[in-house]
Amino acid sequence: MPRTAHRLRMSNNNYKLSSTLQAAVGSLLRETWLTSWELIRITIPVALITKILQESGLIGYLSMILEPVMNLLGLPGSLGLVWATAMLTNIYGGIAVFAVLAPGLALTSAQVTVLCSAILIAHSLPIELSVSKRAGANLMPISLLRLVGAVVYAFILNRFCLGLGLWQEKASLLFKASAKSEDLWHWALGLLQNQGLIILIICCIIICMRIFKVLGILALFEMILAPVLPFFGMSRQAAPITVVGMIMGIGYGGALIIRETSTGKMAREEVFNSMVLLALCHGLVEDTLLMAAIGGKIGGILWGRIVFALIVTFLLVRLLHVLAVRRLSSL
């Protein structure tokens, strides 16, 4: 009887373990598919449009328009289309254009990192700016901050990399090269291969996110940043919400801030300061992993971005405070 009971317990434990693993794998596959479907709906049309523009020669004209800004950042003019797409759609749309254009440009790792950094600060603007507005931040200042902040940080990062000879090796691109002379069948096959690769990247990112959560890495980020944020014009009540936005993105963090502002617990200035920081530094985990997957270096797309965002937010908060004091004293 004792042996039988032991075997039954072992069998039950094995069954529970098997059920847990099946549930975890099923959840992973569902989340990967849902995320990937949203990706496919955007990237395939974007890739088709980009291919048409490339074959018709219109890419050259668009590059001429965007070339001054991109040259300022040490990038080929055609990469302006990548950034413009990311700003109007989202990061996945930018990746779709990047997969078409990048293989023929002989980019360095530094250039890819600079481009990724600009995308990370300014992307999904129609959606994310609407979230910022609903949260209570004025639309124009936040819009300018994201665009100007992206250019300024990318410019500084480019000069820093050139000055130190950092990441000047040829970038290793995961995507299949797409030559202009290839027929549509081979181009379509390459597009499908790139889509499959991006879906695999998304699956790996979801796994990493879950591992980070279990290991407490996300909580560690919050523990490190939350005590610092009061120095940037936010109370301890607003700090954890802002940290969530920094880690998970404006969509999620902005929703929490919208909920808090509706209760009247956060002052208007505090909301603005929080959205300023989120404008320059959000999606620290998932978005950063996406950009790292296409060749961005962590030092530029994560640590440098955090430092830049904190410095700019600190200076802007202090400037606004001084201006407010002067205005009151003049009354």
Residue that the structure tokens 């129609």 belong to: 126
pLDDT band for 209, please (50, 70, 90 cuts): low
pLDDT band for 18, please (50, 70, 90 cuts): low
Give pLDDT tens digits for 50-64. 667 667 766 666 667
pLDDT band for 177, please (50, 70, 90 cuts): very low
Name the residue ranges covered by the structural domains of the chain: 2-330
pLDDT band for 45, please (50, 70, 90 cuts): confident
Judge whether 113 and 167 are in contact, CB under 8 Å: yes
The rounded mean pLDDT for the chain is 79
* Per-residue pLDDT at 70 exceeds 60: yes
Q: Residue 234: which residues within 8 A CB-CB, separation 6 or more?
A: 242, 270, 273, 274, 277
What pLDDT does 180 receive?
46
Whole-angstrom CA distances from 259 to 132, 210, 251, 252, 271 are 12, 26, 12, 11, 11
Rounded Cα distance between 6 and 13, Å, is 10
pLDDT band for 166, please (50, 70, 90 cuts): very high
What pLDDT does 326 receive?
81
Give pLDDT tens digits for 76-126. 988 998 998 888 877 888 888 888 888 888 899 999 999 999 999 999 888
Report the predicted TM-score, pTM, of the whole model to 2 decimal places.
0.76
Q: What is the mean pLDDT of residues 209-236?
A: 74
